[in-house]
Structure 1
């Protein structure tokens, strides 16, 4: 049994068809910011949104600029929104798109197409769809990612923080989901559902990052409860938060020295192939982290790079918003101005 409120369920289709710009738009940060002078040494992290095969039957086409952006990162972090299985057990639901699944081959080919090396990838399994193909499908997913050499976060039995050595830095990653598509007993012991920031020790890590699966879908502005949770996480020493589940781009907020990207949208389409255009805007968050002795683990700068997922036959084409032409570019830029009103081409949010 899922844990979605009735009002949430009733609003899913209307908001999918017309993503909402309603909500509190105050006190958010620009799309890009510099928090300190450029360090002599830095580590670059790239955060992407939800990854699924629902809207793709073959690997996506990727603009060279996006491929280079991801290829230049020292580590890429995303959300694995689909179980990775050879044969779906929920056959009808998978065909209809209500149950997610992707093959090992699709995932490997998609990663190669967008320039993400498996050894530089961390995927969260803390999401509502991870058990769409049952417990056996969950186990198969974990085994498949292990064979591919992809590191995982959001597994209940891996502990609250997974340390990853990224160049000279030891970066800690945690993930959790607030939403379930099935009964809690099936998620318990497998998927992290713990959002309590006091359970995430910072000992031994230079920067603690959290990837929460939170908030409500198809709303561009986070709910007050989501922002309150972000504040609690920041208050307990989390330095960077990159959220999922909304399936649309959401704002960035700075809470003291913590950067919060509430929602990065989809990286590869998780809904129907013919999705309305506002849900096709995604974001890639690039974060440079200082490795200098005096500022080790501090965020030096961040930038959200918006892109569009365009339909191309049986798959999607990933294109930077600035590379779009005609009416679509105007609509995408207008939507981004509504979400990030404080942004300009060269914003600086240095304290």
Structure 2
């Protein structure tokens, strides 16, 4: 049913228990960068978060005020809806075991409120491998629930490969797609975008074309060569910004000419199991300022990855900036981030 290689399936559990640092940070970019100096007079702020699910949570998270402030300051927040939004899961056993994802409309609404994310400023991608975990009926129910909540969506095949979203004075084109699926290809066809070929993407006269891919392999901090090659193809076809999901751990940032690529942002809300090893609890909020000035309209002015930790708190999680962690855990997290991001001090990636 799925399209994962057999070798990948065998490696899933070992890598979940011990996320891999195989690779090197030398070819990648720091956590933060300035591309326009002086900065534009007018800019639009985009904030990308990782996968959102209720699998490892019973109730909505607690969020540190600094995390809420950061997300509340964005003109648009973009994330990946990793779980179908359904009132009653149809895959009962799989949902209990955690292999099939599901979250209620109430949970999603409460989680967004707890994180300070206004629904009218939120865009969620449905292009991921778990979106059909509760069947076709669950997919339809998800689309209807997000419409009721007033949340815009991307990644539906029926809407075409590029969906324009107004962000302040700018029109941003979002192209969301998944390389992976957990169900038969015929079920994904016509419902979920798997179109990763930018040559056929219409531009709609957008100011910035942004890709939101569900790609790479899980629990590896460094992207595979195939993933980086796809990033180069996207950049070569005019995609100016790429923010990826699926790895469930934080991955590096790369600058390809004028294109900025954040390969993986980890989980925003836990999507695997409640008892997850600490490297899988590190997430990132990727903040990008885009120029709205005449002459540089749609150009990326600056970017910054803000790492945080999902700290277990009873039957839910607390989202905490790295600098607010207790000393021992903060040291471990900063060491892990230092292995992923070159020339990055603890000051470059913290919420400020």
Specify if TM > 0.5.
yes
2:245 corresponding residue in structure 1: 244
Tell me what 1:285 maps to: 286
Q: Which residue of 1 aligns with 2:10?
A: 10
CA distance in 1, matches of 2:202, 2:30: 29
Q: Please name the residue that 2:171 is paired with.
A: 170
User: Residue 254 of structure 1: SS of its match in structure 2?
Assistant: strand
The answer to whether the Cα contact below 8 Å between 2:82 and 2:101 also exists between their aligned partners in 1 is: yes
CA distance in 1, matches of 2:65, 2:220: 30
Distance 1:9 1:325 in 2: 35
Distance in 2, matches of 1:69 and 1:321, equals 14
* Structure-1 residue corresponding to 2:153: 152
Query: Which residue does 2:230 correspond to in 1?
Result: 229
Provide the residue aligned with 1:193 in structure 2. 194
Q: What is the Cα deviation at residue 197 of structure 1?
A: 1.1
The answer to whether the Cα contact below 8 Å between 2:90 and 2:135 also exists between their aligned partners in 1 is yes
Residue 45 (str. 1) matches residue 46 (str. 2): yes
**Matching residue of 1:35:** 35
Note the alpha carbon deviations across 1:245-270, whole angstroms, 9 max, x for none.
00000000000010000000000000
CA distance in 1, matches of 2:239, 2:204: 12
Q: 2:269 maps to what in 1?
A: 268
How many Å apart are 1:24 and its aligned residue? Answer: 4.4
Superposed displacement of residue 27, structure 1: 1.5
Alpha-carbon offset, residue 346 of structure 1:
6.9
2:215 alignment partner in structure 1: 214
State the 1:326 CA deviation.
1.9
Kept in 1: contact 2:127–2:178 (CA 8 A): yes
State the alpha-carbon separation in 2 of the partners of residues 57 and 233 from structure 1.
38
Deviation at 1:344, TM superposition (A): 3.3
* CA separation of 1:174 and 1:272: change in aligned 2, threshold 3 A: same
Return the alpha-carbon distance in structure 2 between the equivalents of residues 240 and 200 of structure 1: 15
What does the per-residue CA deviation read over 1:114-160, in whole Å, with 9 as the maximum and x for residues that have no partner? 00000000000000000000000000000000111100000001011
Q: What is the rounded CA distance, in whole Å, between the counterparts of 2:60 and 2:198 in structure 1?
A: 37
Structure 2 unaligned regions, length at least 5: none
Match for residue 111 of structure 1?
A: 112
Residue by residue over 1:36-94, the C-alpha shift from the partner in whole angstroms, topping out at 9 and shown as x without a partner, is 12100000000000000011110000000000000000000000000000000000000
Spell out structure 1 runs of 4+ moving beyond 3 A.
344-347
Matches within 5 A, 1:255-334: 255-334=256-335
CA distance in 1, matches of 2:315, 2:191: 33
User: What CA distance in whole angstroms lies between the structure 2 residues aligned with 1:63 and 1:5?
Assistant: 39
Q: Is the 8 A contact 1:32 1:346 kept in 2?
A: no
Query: How far apart, in 2, do the equivalents of 1:303 and 1:55 lie?
Result: 27
Q: Which 5+ residue runs of structure 1 have no aligned equivalent?
A: none
| Aligned twin of 2:101 | 100
**Offset at 1:199?**
1.8
Q: Please state whether the residue corresponding to 1:283 is helix, strand or coil.
A: strand
Deviation at 1:204, TM superposition (A): 0.9
Q: What CA distance in whole angstroms lies between the structure 2 residues aligned with 1:181 and 1:288?
A: 35
What is the CA deviation profile of residues 181-217 of structure 1, one whole-angstrom value per residue up to 9, with x for unaligned ones?
Answer: 0111100000000100112232410001110000000
Cα deviations by residue, 1:298-347 (Å, 9 ceiling, x for unpaired): 00000000000000000000000111112110100000000002223677
Q: C-alpha offsets along residues 211-243 of structure 1, whole Å, 9 cap, x if unaligned?
A: 000000000000000000000000000010000
Over aligned residue pairs, what C-alpha RMSD do you find?
0.9
